Amino acid sequence: MITPHKDFNLKQYNTFGIDVTAALFFEVSTSKELIEAIQQIKANGIKHLILGGGSNILFTSNYIGAIIHPAIVGIDKVTDNDDYVELRVGAGVEWDALVEHTVSMGLCGLENLSLIPGTVGASPIQNIGAYGVEAKDTIEKVEGIYIDNLEHFSLNKQECKFDYRDSIFKNKLKGKVVVTHVTYRLSKRCNLITHYGNLEVELEKLGGKNLQNVRQAVINIRNTKLPDPKELGNAGSFFKNPLVDIKLVEELQEKYTQVPFYPVNDNMVKLPAGWLIEKSGWKGKRVGNVGVHKDQALVLVSFGNAAGQEVVELAHQIRQSVMELFNVSLEMEVNVV
């Protein structure tokens, strides 16, 4: 039977580097160990939390319950034909290690998602996305364990109900399952997506468009905009890019000559949250132990020894400013615990 760690420090398990502890901490490397951990938690009637790489979570206090940390690894080829390869990947595999692996194999689909922190298990839950690509574009199947009856599940892409930064795992199945494996379908015939952000400019510097250069271009851009969590605590993009009516953009254009936006459909567009925050005067601003990154207004940072509640209070002030100035409501992408 798997034995948990007690009063386990979580500072190295959340990218904000918040110094908190968990009453119990289970690190599971197989589905069998996962089931054993869940059985112990249910037998003792304690609350639990699934924690992967900790790149999308903000702790505001010690966790009085059990943490389950999936450490299931492995990248296995399950399909290989002339057009694509399908890889079944353990939830504990580091996300960028998977991207690097697929690019080295000449497989396309994940390159725009390079350098996103976290683990594979979080990719379908958050439907992670960057530079015009989302995880749902390549996910074929998600497997895991139901917490209530300990049975295995397998959901296809449609059953996962993916949406922008959303999935069934954040709604109907929130807190009810643990992801153990994700299967991705990756193409041998590349259709590289490079129109988003500054990718085209960076690709020119690298000598042109190819699979390896797209990954490197994304890495270069992210390194200039996003701080390394090992040096400056953060959880990447703290807010979602809001979806708004095109009429609002037209109103904003009367005051701001260049309002960046990305069409979603005939009526709705996506506004960059970072632009809204910057125009609200928050970029580079520090409040005590926390602040907004000097190069990317979408990233809230800890300057060391910050408490989670300090970050929450800063986020609240930013949301108020954006609402007052633009009449746009920002939704946090980070999960507050």
- pLDDT per residue over 195-216, tens digit each? 887 889 999 999 999 999 999 9
What is the structure's pLDDT at 140?
Answer: 97
pTM of the model: 0.83
From 27, 114, 165, 302, the catalytic residue: 165
Buried b (16+ CB within 10 A) or exposed e, 217-232: bbbbbbeebbbebeeb
| pLDDT, averaged across the chain | 92
From 114, 237, 280, 302, the catalytic residue: 237
CA within 13 Å, CB half, 83: 1
Structural domains of the chain in order of their starting residue, each with its CATH number: 5-70 (3.30.43.10), 75-187 (3.30.465.10), 233-336 (3.90.78.10)
Q: Which amino acid is at 161?
A: K
Q: Tell me the C-alpha distance between 39 and 123, whole Å.
A: 26
Residue 33 annotated to the active site? no
Residue 319 annotated to the active site? no
Non-local CB neighbours of 129 within 8 Å, separated by 6+ positions? 113, 135, 164, 165
The full 3-state SS of 268-293, as one line of letters, equals: EEECCHHHHHHHCCCCCCEECCEEEC
Non-local CB neighbours of 49 within 8 Å, separated by 6+ positions? 22, 63, 65, 66, 67, 68, 337
Confidence band (pLDDT; 50, 70, 90) for 266?
A: confident
Question: What sections of the chain are H helices per DSSP?
Answer: 31-44, 95-104, 122-126, 199-206, 211-225, 246-252, 273-279, 308-326
- pLDDT per residue over 63-105, tens digit each? 999 999 999 999 999 999 999 999 999 999 999 999 999 999 9
Residue 165 annotated to the active site? yes
Q: Tell me the C-alpha distance between 233 and 57, whole Å.
A: 12
Average pLDDT over residues 286-296: 93
pLDDT at 167 over 90: yes
- pLDDT per residue over 37-58, tens digit each? 999 999 989 999 999 888 889 9
DSSP 136: G
Q: Which two tokens stand for residue 98?
A: 């998977």
CB atoms within 10 A of CB 194: 19
